[in-house]
Amino acid sequence: MAAVTPLLSTRGLSRSFGGLRAVDEVDFDLPAGEIRAIIGPNGAGKTTFVGLICGRLAPSAGRVVFDGRDITGMPAHRRVRAGIAYTFQITSVFARLSAFDNVALSVQRRLLDAGAGRPGRARLEAGVDRALARVGLAGHAATLAGNLSYGHQRLLEVAMGLALEPRLLILDEPTQGLSDGEIAAFIALVREIAEDATVLLIEHNMHVVMELAGRITVMESGRILAEGEPAAIRADPAVQQAYLGG
């Protein structure tokens, strides 16, 4: 049987900040349709790594391949067009715009990139309403984003990512600030998203990680320490020592 080409691969991917090697020659493969979690202690290089994937940062060395295409030199906005959406560790919503208008920006971008021309109001509203409903914010469409709770701002950012209809959705600490009930709803949402897209998740909440991830990648000091299914990662002595407090 021929090997399946991963949706996303990195080879020798590195990023230095002065004398600090934040990401150090990382080889990584992510098959299509998977929910993958990246975990590790603070400073392990997780956010820098996904910043290199989505194009917010340029690598010092190595390459990024998406859907068989080398995108190492591709700017972030073109990676969005290629099908990569990224939600930030710190919310990046437009505080003075309503929740509806925040999501409308993503819907409009997707339709324009698809060559659909400037979307009509009905089509725009349908895309926004669908994204807000998926994250449980349908009742907050008219609320200014800056007036939403922090947890709801996190969910709004997920809605903005979903409205792009990405092939790869990268979520950086998405459950930070969510209540227990919102976290349970979020877990259900990610499982639903994974029916149509690949999900790459940076998350400190180990309950969320163990519930969602098909495989887990553990980073430490800019390198991959371990990779495997949740049960194997939980039992790994090196992971326990570095991260899980074993």
| pLDDT tens column, 3-36 | 567 999 999 999 999 889 999 999 999 999 999 9
Asked if residue 89 belongs to a domain, the reply is no
Does residue 102 share a domain with residue 205? no
Q: What's the DSSP call for residue 99?
A: H
Does residue 44 share a domain with residue 159? no
**Which of 165, 182, 211 is the C-terminal boundary of a domain?**
165
State whether the Cα torsion 153-159-160-162 is positive or negative. positive
Does residue 190 share a domain with residue 112? no
Distance of CA 41 to the CA centre of its chain: 18
Does residue 180 share a domain with residue 135? no
CB-count exposure of residue 64 (10 Å: 0-12, 13-18, 19+):
buried
Residue 176 pLDDT level (bands cut at 50, 70, 90): confident
Query: Closest Cα to residue 89, out of 30, 46, 60?
Result: 46
User: Which segment of 71-80, 117-126, 175-184 scores lowest on mean pLDDT?
Assistant: 117-126
Residue 246 pLDDT level (bands cut at 50, 70, 90): very low
Asked if residue 53 belongs to a domain, the reply is yes
Only one residue has tokens 């949706």, namely 7
Asked if residue 199 belongs to a domain, the reply is yes
pLDDT digits (tens, 9 = 90+) for 180-209: 998 999 999 999 999 999 999 999 899 999
**Which of 145, 165, 185 is the C-terminal boundary of a domain?**
165
Judge whether 155 and 180 are in contact, CB under 8 Å. no
pLDDT digits (tens, 9 = 90+) for 61-115: 999 999 999 999 999 989 999 999 988 655 678 999 999 999 999 998 888 876 6
- Please provide the distance, in angstroms rounded to a whole number, between the alpha carbons at the two ends of the chain: 39
Asked if residue 241 belongs to a domain, the reply is yes
Asked if residue 66 belongs to a domain, the reply is yes
CATH number at residue 214: 3.40.50.300
Does residue 174 share a domain with residue 134? no
Does residue 174 share a domain with residue 76? yes
What is the domain count for the chain?
2
Domain of residue 231: give its range: 1-83+168-246
Average pLDDT (153-172) is 92
The Cα–Cα gap between 181 and 215 comes to 25
H helical segments located in 83-216: 99-113, 121-134, 150-162, 180-193, 206-212
Asked if residue 32 belongs to a domain, the reply is yes
Does residue 175 share a domain with residue 77? yes
Does residue 27 share a domain with residue 38? yes
Asked if residue 88 belongs to a domain, the reply is no
pLDDT digits (tens, 9 = 90+) for 34-51: 999 999 988 899 999 999
**Which of 115, 141, 165 is the C-terminal boundary of a domain?**
165
Does residue 174 share a domain with residue 79? yes
Q: What's the DSSP call for residue 148?
A: S
Does residue 161 share a domain with residue 180? no
Asked if residue 72 belongs to a domain, the reply is yes
Does residue 118 share a domain with residue 230? no
State whether the Cα torsion 228-3-168-10 is positive or negative. positive
Q: Which residues of 92-120 are buried (b: 16+ CB within 10 A; e: fewer)?
A: ebeeeebbbebbbebbbbbbeeeeeeebe
Does residue 230 share a domain with residue 113? no
